[in-house]
Amino acid sequence: MHYLLFYEVGEDYVSRRAQFREEHLKKAWEASERSELVLAGALANPVDGAVLLFKGDSPEIAEKFARADPYVLNEAVKRWYVREWRTVAGQDAATPIRPKAVMVDKEARMNLRSTADYRPLSLFHGDLCRKLTMRFAAKVPSTAGLIARSRTHQHQCDRIAPARGTHAVAKAVGR
């Protein structure tokens, strides 16, 4: 799980933190080396707070850090609190949730029968596109309209993924 530690600071924070900064940074880098602290830094323009991202099983890691932080102990930070952050996207997401189109695309690759179906799309684009379109139309009734709306393979591909120039029928399933 991820936890955000928020620091609320006073107007004199920038000047007050200077004398405690070295010790604060030492503690922050030690927490990072233990893989507890992921990212940390002051908010900018204006410098009116800070946010520290922690990774752990409970908010206790972030709370422990705050209680021992020289900024907090010396009242450069006026108030602090920890919030659980349910991360759902990105490489380090604690609870990743993929869009349906990505999951359907993976399912399509799993359902391909012959070794020819595993060839790169750029080489056997037309055959694979037709196979995937037909299989999705059979399995997911909502995709049957994809075939009816577009009479040619190229138009179908352009409508589904014009920016990439490659095709993934699965991306249209979620539409």
In the prediction, which pLDDT does 10 show? Answer: 85
Strand order of the sheet with strand 37-42? 37-42, 49-55, 2-9, 77-85
Give yes or no for residue 164 having a pLDDT over 90: no
* Under 8 Å between Cβ of 132 and 108: yes
- pLDDT top residue among 9 and 140: 9
Class of domain 2-85: alpha beta
Tens-digit pLDDT profile for residues 34-66: 999 999 999 999 889 999 999 999 999 999 999
* Under 8 Å between Cβ of 37 and 53: yes
- pLDDT top residue among 171 and 67: 67
Distances (CA, A) of 161 to 90, 101, 169: 22, 12, 9
Give yes or no for residue 117 having a pLDDT over 50: no
Q: Where are the domains of the chain?
A: 2-85, 100-173
Give yes or no for residue 114 having a pLDDT over 90: no
